[in-house]
Amino acid sequence: MDSVAIRRLEAADPEMIEEAFRKQGWSKPASQYLRYLAEQEEGARAVLVAEYEGAFAGYATIKWASAYEAFREREIPEVNDFNVLLRYRRLGIGTMLMEEAERLIAERSSLAGLGVGLYADYGAAQVLYARRGYVPDGRGIQWQNRSVEPGASIPIDDDAVLYLIKQLN
C-alpha cells in the first residue's frame, strides 16, 4: 500500500502520538513513548510507527526480552503494545505493522510471541493474530504475567491475557 509508511520511533513523535490518541478519547501519555524511545536507543525495544498519507496511524513495539517468563526463558521476542488509531483500522495498517515486526524478529529468532487481551476491545487483534498463524503457548490465561489457577477470580482487564506464539521462516 503506497499510502502507508512504516518507520522507527523518532524524538519528535511522543507528543504527536499522545495527541492523536487523545483525539479519539484514549490516554496514552507522551512519557510512555519517551520511555519506548529510550528503550529503543538502548536496544531493548524496537518501535515501529505507521503513517497513512503522512499522518500518524499506529505503532507496534517489539520487546527483545519479554517480561513474560515463558518467552524470556526461550528468548522469544514479544510484539508488545500494538495500536492502530480507530479511523485507520481496516486499511491493512495493522497487517503491515505485524509483517515488519515479524521480519525484524525473524532476524533474531524463529519464534515470535505476543499477549492478547481477553475482552471485546481486543476482538480485532484476536482475529488478526489467529489469521496470521499465532497459536496459544499452552500455558493458559495469565494475569500480570502469572498463571491463573483453576477457580481463581481475576479482573478481566488489560493485564488478563492469553500469550500466543508463531513459528517464523
Residues 6+ apart with CB under 8 A from 61: 36, 45, 46, 47, 48, 79, 80, 81, 82
Q: Report, in this order, helix, strand and coil percent for the chain, each rounded to 5.
A: 35, 35, 35
82 pLDDT band (50/70/90 cuts)?
very high
Q: What percent of the chain has pLDDT over 70?
A: 99
pTM of the model: 0.90
Residues 6+ apart with CB under 8 A from 135: 164, 165, 166
Where do we find the cell 478519547? 25
CATH numbers and ranges of domains, the chain? 4-167 (3.40.630.30)
Alpha-carbon distance of 1 to 98, in angstroms, equals 14
Model pLDDT for residues 102-152, shown as the tens digit of each residue: 999 999 999 999 999 999 999 988 999 999 999 999 999 999 989 999 999
pLDDT of residue 27: 87
